[in-house]
Each structure stands twice: as C-alpha cells, then as structure tokens.
Amino acid sequence: MASSPNISMFGTGSIGFLRAYLVTMRPYLMVLSGITGMAGMSLASEVSLPKSGLILLASFLSYGFGQALTDCFQIDTDRISAPYRPLTQGVVDRSHVLGVSLTGLAFCVLVFAAANPLNLLLGAIAAVGLATYTPFKRRWWGGPWYNAWIVAVLFIMGYLAGTRRIETPFPPSLPWILATVFFGYANFVLVGYYKDIGADTQSGYRTLPVVVGREISARVSDILAGAAAVALLVARLRIPDGTDFPLSNLVSWSLIAAALGASLRSQLLLTTITRDAEAHRAIGFVVHSYILGLSGVSIAARPGWTGPLLALYLLFLILLRTRPSRSQI
C-alpha cells in the first residue's frame, strides 16, 4: 500500500512560515490586548509619545504571541473547529511556533520591564498563565476567569509602564477599569466557547456551554456582561470631564454608550444561537463592546489620545474583515 504524501512544512525563516504564523496570531483580535495596555497607561503619570508607542506595540503583539502559544496546546479541538489554521493543517511545526511565541512574549515583557522593572515579574507570571491555560479550559469552571486574570495583568503592566514606582493613592477609576477588563474579557472567552461546542465535546473540553448547555451559559454570560457594564460606567464617572476638551468628552461618552449598546446586542443574540456556526455574531459584538468601552475611558483620561484611539478602532474594523473564516472570531 502506498504511503500518504507528507504535508510540506514551512521553515521558520521562510515567507510561508511568516504568513502561517500571522494567521495563528489572529491580527483582528490583537486590538483587544492593544487597547487593554493603553487603558492602563492612560491612567499613569509619566506618559510620553515614544513610550506610549512602544507600550502600544508590545500590548498589541502580546495577544498574537499569546494566542499562538495557547494554540500549540489545543490542536486536538482546533482540528475540528478551525481546520484552516496552520497548526491543524500541519504546515508549521509545533516546536517552531512555540519557540517564536515564547521569544515574542519575552520581547513584549522586556519592553514593559524597560519602562518599569516591576513588569518583569508580572510579565513572567502572565506568560506562565498563558502556558497553563489549556488545562483550565478543559474544566467548566476554569476557562473564562483564568484567561481574564492574565489580561487583567496586562492592564496593570500598562499602568506601571507609565510610572517609575507604585503611586498612592491609585487613580479613582483604576480598580473599576480593572474590573471592566476582567469581567469583559471573561465574557468574551465564555461567548467564544459557543462557536466550538461541537469540537470541544468531541475533544473532551468540558467548557461551560458543553456541560450545562447554551441557555444556562447565556445567564452566566449576562452576569459577566452586567458586571462589566456597571464597572465601565462607574469608571467613566470617576474620571472628571475636562473643561478644555469638550469634543473629547463627547467622543468618550459616545464610545461608552456604543459599548453598552453592543454588549446588550450581544447578550440578546446569545439567546438565539442554536448552532456553533451562528455564534460569531454574538462574539463580534462582545469584542466591539470591549474595545469601545476601554477606548472611551482612555480618551476621558487622556483627551490627547482621541485621534489615535479612534484610528485603533478603525484598524480593528479593517482587520476583522480579513479573518480567514467568517464563523471564527
């Protein structure tokens, strides 16, 4: 019997590997980590243009490197739910993706640490969290909150990057924006599981939707979304409107309103999902809500960032249209 032909693998230095790795990074979702780091830095006292640019770059890339790292441990379920991904197709070597991902994450941590040495410890903790996420995803009680605390650490790293030391008292809005990040991202993770229920069931991933079904999971999602919405409103109220920036105030409140509307839309759509392929619409609105909300509070804290943060959201809209599979977000 003739053996099956081997699938050609791309070497790490090839254009093919770079293209495949870029798909693995999910550029359209890297704005999530980008806005998280910038939201933290918007509250800091020592912010310069070069520093904010470097922190945005490191924040932006951290999602991509982190996602590629976690994909290395979830090839089994991804073969079913996302067969288009390079790791599931076997066109890139898992060890090569691991190496590049760890190197990339180390670069991001070093950028944060250069701004504040405390970030070296926090970055190492977050990296360990990413590497150990998959076992928690397999348990119905673990995935969303475990992923969310890692992103919450990124928010703190962004804040510390703009300070030379821990400043007290903390900005009044800081704990509320931190809560927005934690609950908002946990909800993004939970709603994201809706697109993979079939694959996770076959692969032994006992996520909340797999164990208790869509309806009960939707109620849990409502709680997470509600907590994020309350935290977002309180955070914005804790940042006084700047009398010298009426346009930025208007933009900030408009983004907050849009974020709350997108969140409500997502929760309503969640109750109508009957198939995995339908989940992407609800997931999309969760992502919009997260980015819009953090952009709104960041602009309130730093009115001078209005243009760049609106451009960042526009970039997200453009990148979202380039994703390889419409049903995957």
* 3-state per-residue secondary structure call for 202-228: HHCCCCHHHHHHHHHHHHHHHHHHHHH
Mean pLDDT across the chain: 92
From CA 224, how far away is CA 220, in angstroms rounded?
Answer: 6
pLDDT digit string, tens, across residues 72-126: 999 988 898 888 889 998 899 999 999 999 999 999 999 999 999 999 999 999 9
From CA 266, how far away is CA 276, in angstroms rounded?
Answer: 15
User: What pTM was computed for the model?
Assistant: 0.94
> What is the band of 142 on the pLDDT scale with cuts at 50, 70, 90?
very high
Give the start-to-end residue ranges of the domains of the chain.
19-320
Q: Give the per-residue pLDDT at 62.
A: 96
In one-letter notation, the amino acid at residue 44 is A
Q: Taking a C-beta distance cutoff of 8 angstroms, is the pair 229, 260 a contact?
A: yes
* pLDDT at residue 149 tops 90: yes
| Residue 247: exposure state from Cβ atoms within 10 A (0-12, 13-18, ≥19) | exposed
From CA 274, how far away is CA 100, in angstroms rounded?
Answer: 38
Taking residues 246-263, report their average pLDDT.
97
* pLDDT at residue 327 tops 90: no
What are the φ and ψ backbone dihedral angles of 24, each rounded to 5 degrees? -65, -30
pLDDT digit string, tens, across residues 115-141: 999 999 999 999 999 989 999 999 999
From CA 200, how far away is CA 274, in angstroms rounded?
Answer: 16
The stretches of the chain forming alpha helices (DSSP H) are: 15-25, 30-41, 49-71, 75-81, 86-89, 94-115, 118-131, 133-137, 143-161, 174-192, 197-203, 208-237, 246-270, 279-301, 306-320
Q: Give the per-residue pLDDT at 6.
A: 43
Q: What percent of the chain shows pLDDT beyond 90?
A: 80
pLDDT digit string, tens, across residues 11-20: 777 899 999 9
From CA 65, how far away is CA 99, in angstroms rounded?
Answer: 10
Taking residues 287-305, report their average pLDDT.
97
From CA 89, how far away is CA 285, in angstroms rounded?
Answer: 29
Tokens 């709603």 belong to which residue?
191
